[in-house]
Amino acid sequence: MTLRIISLNAWGGRLHEALIQYVTAADPDVLCLQEVLRTPGTGTGWSIYRDGDVELPQRFNLFSEISTALPGHDGFFCPTWKGELFDGNTVIAAEFGLATFVRKTHSVVGQGLDFVHGRFSADGWGEHPRPRNAHCIRLFSHEHASSVTIAHMHGLRDPAGKGDTAARDAQAAALVGLIEGVWPGDEGLVVCGDFNVLPDSATFAILARLGLSDLVTGNGLVDTRTSYYLKQGRFADYMLVTPGVKVAKFEVVEAPEVSDHRALLLDIG
């Protein structure tokens, strides 16, 4: 049997029905989601995110909806900031961040959560580049009688583009520091997410210090975006592994399209 890990930028749930159907059918052991919203104490439904002239539909309680779709998983929500969404004239105060879902038959025996850029903002979305965090778990598989460490991050967005900056270098170094606090170094390590960098980024040289290599570029793949993404520059999402990880299957999922990002699916033995 294999352990299935999926990483996906959920795009705020804009393709909600397809997203729910996909994560239910794919049935991952570990689901690493970026761009997830949570609004405790409320129901579920649509809202509008506004940023200047930009208006985007968002599921204001996507974390709750994914939790309902995956009742056999424990969910961990990792907020980066709290801001206002709108339902007509109604203001909804929602948190935005990462979510990690782990099948309950596996044991989370270690974890770390911290900011890799900035700090938590409780009073609005703020200016770009906004705060970013990363979540790292150490998972014991009773079926395999072994452990693996899995980390994911949503890299900072810079209006100037995806090129290297001092902030991105510092972000990568902070991610390494977070991982080193959880990963013992003598077992498999998987690092994934929407890094918001280009394939030649110094981020990968920094992560290589942990022995990590990228499966996306390493397999000659050139596109991690779906037809919903209309800009140039088709790289954003990556999945890296250490040599001890036994890759049974790796796929940048072309269909179904559940976001403007493609899901990254990894089965390890």
- pLDDT tens string, the chain, 269 residues long: the values are 699 999 999 999 999 999 999 999 999 999 999 999 999 999 999 999 998 888 999 999 999 999 999 999 999 999 999 999 999 999 999 999 999 999 999 999 999 999 999 999 999 998 888 999 999 999 999 988 999 999 999 999 998 999 999 999 999 999 999 999 999 999 999 999 999 999 999 999 999 999 999 999 999 998 999 999 998 889 999 999 999 999 999 999 999 999 999 999 999 99
pLDDT for the residue 206: 98
Q: Where are the strands (E) in the chain, listed by range?
A: 3-9, 30-38, 46-51, 54-59, 73-87, 90-103, 107-117, 132-141, 146-154, 188-194, 213-214, 237-241, 247-252, 264-268
pLDDT for the residue 1: 65
Instruction: Answer whether the bond into residue 256 is a cis peptide, omega within 30°.
Output: yes
SS3 of residue 218 by DSSP: helix
Half-sphere exposure at residue 27, Cβ-oriented, CA atoms within 13 angstroms: 3
Instruction: Answer whether the bond into residue 129 is a cis peptide, omega within 30°.
Output: yes
Residue 190: Cβ within 10 Å count: 25
pLDDT for the residue 231: 87
pLDDT for the residue 251: 98
* Cβ contacts of 214 within 8 Å, gap of 6 or more: 199, 204, 238, 239, 240
pLDDT for the residue 227: 97
Q: Which residue is it, tokens 């009742």?
A: 71
Phi/psi at 159 (nearest 5 deg)?
A: -55, -20
- Measured distance CA(201)–CA(6) in Å, rounded: 23
* Cβ contacts of 24 within 8 Å, gap of 6 or more: 69, 70
Q: How many helices and strands (H and E) does the chain possess?
A: 5, 14
Half-sphere exposure at residue 70, Cβ-oriented, CA atoms within 13 angstroms: 30
3-268: what CATH class?
alpha beta
- Measured distance CA(267)–CA(120) in Å, rounded: 33
Beta bridge partners of 138: 110, 149
